Structures are given as structure tokens and as C-alpha cells.
Amino acid sequence: MGMAFSKLFDRIWGKKEMRILMVGLDAAGKTTILYKLKLGEIVTTIPTIGFNVETVEYKNIQFTVWDVGGQDKIRPLWRHYFQNTQGIIFVVDSNDRDRVVEAREELQRMLNEDELRDALLLVFANKQDLPNAMSPAEITQQLGLQSLTRRAWVNESPIPEVFAVAKRPSANPSPFSSQYIQSTCATTGDGLYEGLEWLANALKKAGHE
């Protein structure tokens, strides 16, 4: 009863809930991102065995963020978190050029899952503070996002490297209604809320209200 009234008041006052799945290879910075968003500070992290889940409130939206471990032996378990996911945050270590192909393969597997057909995709190009970090534009190319989603990513940013947004074509559409890549630095928080801003707006436009 209490929960029912809570949901009713949330709807009246415009508060929405969104389920977000945050994945990526191990050491990409997922847990650091989660607690930077939740607590506003850097926390000491260890490799996630299993998952962390926290709620993050932003602009009347309560994001329930599931941060799932990225070690290779754990990745087959990602599928257990797919159900009811409205948005995916895929975190990439921009400095890890040696494993970007591995990241591409894992992302491709996810994009082929029926349970994620209606989910939105936000890519965090993390660790942009490092001198050898790949730009978001380079990561877009390295991940093969155009071929993975069968449509072009259209750059709509005044700063070309900052982000690219995909638009649905009239023929042969991708399962994903919209996508976005955002440069981030988990330790400083740069780009994290810009990503949430896009995700919130895109979820609303996609009808997840």
C-alpha cells in the first residue's frame, strides 16, 4: 500500500524511475563512475565480482544503476540483468588500445540480445584525462558503431570529438532508438552528468515515462 502511494505521488509530481545497466570490460572505471555519481567523491574500488546497485537521482529521475563486473569469466552473467533494462551505459577505457577490439566484441553480443531491443545506448569514453586516451570519435570508429547498429552516427556537437548521436533511418532500422557517446573522466566527474542529461532526455523521447 505504501509503495503504491509512493509511486502515485512520484507520478503526480513528475518523478520517474529508470533502470540502467552499466557494463564494460574490467578496469574501465564502472564502479568509480557509479560512486562518483552517487556520492560525489572517489572511493577505493576493487574488481567487482558480481554487481553493485545504487540509485542516482537527477532532475526528477531516479536512475537505478546496476554496475556489473567486467572480468571475462563474469561477462556471461550480464544477460541475467538484461530484463526490463531501459538504458545501457557501456564504459570504455579510452587509454586501453590493446583491448578495444575485445570491447567491441562484447558490445556486439549485447546489441544482438532481444531483451535489449528497446534499450538506449550510452557509451562513456572514460579516462579522457590520460595523455594517450583515444578520442570519442576514434572510439566510435574502433568499436565499429556504424556497422554494429547498421546505421550512421550523426555528429551534432559543436565540438566534433565530444559526442555523436544516431538517428533512425527509414529502412533497415537498428533495435536501438538512440545512441550517444560522451567523453568522461570518472575521477573528476567530467562528462558524467552530461551523459545522464542525454540519457534522461532520450528515455523520455523514447516513451519510457
pLDDT in tens, 120-168: 999 999 999 999 999 999 999 999 887 755 433 443 343 333 344 433 3
pLDDT for the residue numbered 151:
37
CB neighbour burial string for 188-198, b if at least 16 within 10 angstroms, e if fewer: eeebbbebbeb
The answer on whether 128 is annotated among ligand-binding residues is: yes
The answer on whether 28 is annotated among ligand-binding residues is: yes
The answer on whether 142 is annotated among ligand-binding residues is: no
Q: Mean per-residue pLDDT for 86-102?
A: 98
Does residue 91 surpass a pLDDT of 90? yes
pLDDT for the residue numbered 3:
52
pLDDT for the residue numbered 45:
85
Does residue 1 surpass a pLDDT of 70? no
The answer on whether 127 is annotated among ligand-binding residues is: yes
Residue 158 burial by CB count (10 A; 0-12/13-18/19+): exposed, middle or buried? exposed
Q: Mean per-residue pLDDT for 68-94?
A: 94
Exactly one of 71, 83, 108, 141 is catalytic; name it. Answer: 71
Does residue 49 surpass a pLDDT of 70? yes
71 is catalytic: yes
pLDDT for the residue numbered 14:
65
Does residue 109 surpass a pLDDT of 60? yes
Q: Mean per-residue pLDDT for 81-103?
A: 97
The answer on whether 24 is annotated among ligand-binding residues is: yes
Q: Give the C-alpha separation, 40 to 51, whole Å.
A: 20
In the CATH scheme, what architecture does the domain 16-205 have?
3-Layer(aba) Sandwich (3.40)
86 pLDDT band, cuts 50/70/90, is very high
**CA nearest to 123, candidates 77, 79, 158, 91:** 91
